[in-house]
Amino acid sequence: MEPQNPNQPEEQDYSKPVAYDNQGRPLYAHPPQTQTQPQQEQNQAFHVMRPFDPEAPTISAETKARAEASRKKYPNLNLSDGEYVISAVRRHPIGLVPIFGFVGFMVIFLVGAIPFYESFRNSSANPGGMPSTAIVAVLALLLGALFLIGGLIAAYVYIQNKFYLTNESVIQEIQNSLFSKHEQTVSLSNIEDASFRQENILQSIFNYGSIRLSTEGDETTYRFNYVANPKREIAILNNAVEAFKNGRPVVND
């Protein structure tokens, strides 16, 4: 039997009670528990910094010249650096025919009604109770002038609707009324489908129709009506979209 080291603490027997409570029940001691804390992984923080003035993309001299020419020709457009207009699409003049046709009909009708009214007044049993022909003529001319002014306003609104294709986006200027106007811009990268439609024999004879664009994600559809030669315009647009998405220069052949 090995002698016990007086400096070494005596091992305690935890099976024996160390005390009793007030009801005589034994109380036992518990051995100390060594808590081993798992080693925590240290979170490493990575800081990414970018320059305050990022380097601008390189724009060729030819692209700069085209962009400058487009800004001078279309000062109403908000073009970015290096963006230039490939195709400017205006509405077909045939859309003006119904406007001026209606205005012309109303003016002729009002002017022609003046002699008819004079004959009716002279044949009336009581012409004195009817307005004079001069008063009716003035009213008819004023009403005809209002129709003419309204027709000119409608023609202006019709002409101001335009559609521009650039090397980066599609810009549509929408004129709803004389004082209501807004602009829609769609990036070429967001265009999923572009098509045209000619729905009747009149559109085929005069070669006009509508262009339809659909975008990715929100599934928004854009339409532009009364486009002259829509087949040619949609071919230019599809070529521009394909070139832009594939990283090739977008030009008008």
pLDDT of the residue at 63: 84
Strand-pairing partners, residue 184, are 172
Pick the residue with more confidence: 166 or 58? 166
pLDDT at 163 over 70: yes
pLDDT of the residue at 20: 65
pLDDT tens string 5-14: 555 555 666 6
* Mean pLDDT confidence for 198-223: 86
Compute the mean pLDDT over every residue in the chain, rounded to the nearest whole number: 81
pLDDT tens string 143-152: 999 999 999 9
Nearest CA to 215 out of 236, 195, 240, 194 is that of 194
Pick the residue with more confidence: 226 or 3? 226
pLDDT tens string 20-77: 666 667 666 666 665 555 555 555 555 555 555 555 567 788 888 888 999 999 898 8
* Mean pLDDT confidence for 13-17: 67
Distance, in Å, from the CA atom of 13 to the CA atom of 207, rounded to the nearest integer, reads: 107
pTM above 0.75, yes or no: no
pLDDT over 90, % of the chain: 34
Where are the chain's structural domains? 63-70+81-91+162-245, 96-157
Nearest CA to 226 out of 177, 157, 167 is that of 157
The structure tokens listed for 190 are 């967001």
Residue 99: strand, helix, or coil:
helix
pLDDT over 70, % of the chain: 75
pLDDT at 99 over 90: yes
pLDDT of the residue at 1: 47
CATH architecture of 63-70+81-91+162-245: Roll (2.30)
Which amino acid type is present at position 120? F
Q: What is the four-CA torsion angle of 18, 22, 26, 27, rounded to 10 degrees? A: -50
